[in-house]
Amino acid sequence: MRSQVLNLCNGLAQCLRSAATGLQQQSPQTPAALRQLHTATAAAAAAAAAAAGGPGPSKATAKRLGLANVQHVVAVASGKGGVGKSTVAVNLAVALAVQHGWRVGLLDADIHGPSLPTMMGLHAEPEASPEGLLLPPESHRVKCMSMGFFMKGDTPVVWRGPIVNSAIDRFLMGTAWGALDLLVVDMPPGTGDAQIGLGQRLPLAGAVIVSTPQDVALLDARRGAQMFRKVHVPLLGLVENMSYYCCPNCGHQDNIFGSGGVAAAADDLGVDLLGQVPLNGQIRQQSDVGCPSSCQHPTAPQGRPTSALPHESKPS
């Protein structure tokens, strides 16, 4: 079963890698991988959890969380804040929705530091349905939910772990997600209560870890990867953000934060390095105005690195 899950994860990883490096190669096994990934992952996680004496994800859990009509759930995570996790999550969701027509939802699970409203250009508080469910605002064809929709100005959220977990569950169960091909969860940074709780409760098909090249970020990225393994969530791979800076005038490439560390970490963990995203002013500018880079044509320089998306049909 473990080899089956790894094969399915690698099918998705190949697609993520090719897009992140600006290639236009297609992966023939992608549709089947995405269709089978959730089922195989859940079975493997349940078997591993049973051996360890712990619970695994189940259909009942998905139904309880309001995700019965969601085909796949993927977490985008990091061990440390400020490494570009939300940038990767937002661009993955938008690329799949805009360029491939997938039905995509994006949950900002970072209760204390939500950035989804700014990056998706959404600022109005969500309305409620007659049934009392939150209607997720849509931007770039992606259904979105975030604590940021309910925060005023610079007012902080001063909540402890149990309340944070309850708020995340509320966004999951109390949002009218509808039928989705994929729900992308922008995880909070770190390996605390919220992260462990999400890993245990959500029927995650896999997790993508984002890190920058420097050692201090890599150490936390490794910890994040090990946390997912402890809660039986497969790793889809690592993404290296702020990988290098390319001078727009002369083309010289400078590895400001070092090089090779994320690739070595991926090798040690036995997963793929999915892509290397450069320092690029346009990525930052587009995020600040709510127009993610993956809204651009995939061949545009600012659109290529973060358009981590498969190249074939959506899952059935």
The DSSP bridge pattern shows strands 138-139 and 104-108 to be unpaired
Asked if residue 303 belongs to a domain, the reply is: no
Asked if residue 306 belongs to a domain, the reply is: no
> Range with the lowest mean pLDDT among 168-177, 213-222, 236-245, 300-309?
300-309
Domain around 242: 2-295
Asked if residue 301 belongs to a domain, the reply is: no
pLDDT at res. 298? 52
> Range with the lowest mean pLDDT among 14-23, 181-190, 224-233?
14-23
> What CA–CA distances, in Å, run from 302 to 65, 163, 201?
36, 38, 36
Number of residues that make up the chain: 316
Answer yes or no: are the C-beta atoms of 137 and 123 closer than 8 Å: no
Residue 278's CATH number: 3.40.50.300
- 316 falls in which pLDDT band (50, 70, 90)? low
pLDDT at res. 65? 67
DSSP string of the chain?
-HHHHHHHHHHHHHHHHHHHTT-----TTHHHHHHHHHHHHHHHHHHHHHHHT-----HHHHHHTT-TTEEEEEEEE-SSTTSSHHHHHHHHHHHHHHHH---EEEEE--SSS--HHHHHT--SPPPB-TTS-B---EETTEEEEEGGGG--TT------HHHHHHHHHHHHHTB---SEEEEEEEPPSSSSHHHHHHHHHS--SEEEEEE-SSHHHHHHHHHHHHHHHHTT--EEEEEEEEEEEE-TTT--EE-TT-SSHHHHHHHHHT--EEEEEEE-HHHHHHHHTT--GGGS-TTSTTTTTT----SSPPP-
Q: Dump pLDDT digits (tens) for 188-221.
A: 888 888 888 888 888 899 999 999 998 888 899 9
- 99 falls in which pLDDT band (50, 70, 90)? confident
Query: Locate tokens 């989804």: which residue?
Result: 116
Asked if residue 309 belongs to a domain, the reply is: no
- 302 falls in which pLDDT band (50, 70, 90)? very low
Q: Average model confidence (pLDDT) for the chain? A: 78
> Range with the lowest mean pLDDT among 98-112, 114-128, 154-168?
154-168
Asked if residue 89 belongs to a domain, the reply is: yes
Q: Dump pLDDT digits (tens) for 36-86.
A: 444 444 444 444 444 444 545 555 666 666 788 999 999 999 988 889 999
This prediction has a pTM of 0.78
Asked if residue 137 belongs to a domain, the reply is: yes
Q: Dump pLDDT digits (tens) for 245-265.
A: 888 888 888 998 888 889 999
Average pLDDT over residues 144-154: 91
Asked if residue 315 belongs to a domain, the reply is: no
Backbone angles phi, psi at 257, to 5 degrees: -100, 15
Say whether pLDDT at 14 is over 50: no
Asked if residue 182 belongs to a domain, the reply is: yes
Average pLDDT over residues 210-236: 91
Q: Which residues contact 205 (CB under 8 A, 6 or more apart)?
A: 37, 38, 41, 72, 73, 74, 234
Say whether pLDDT at 172 is over 80: yes
The total of structural domains in the chain comes to 1
As beta bridge partners, residue 134 has 128, 175
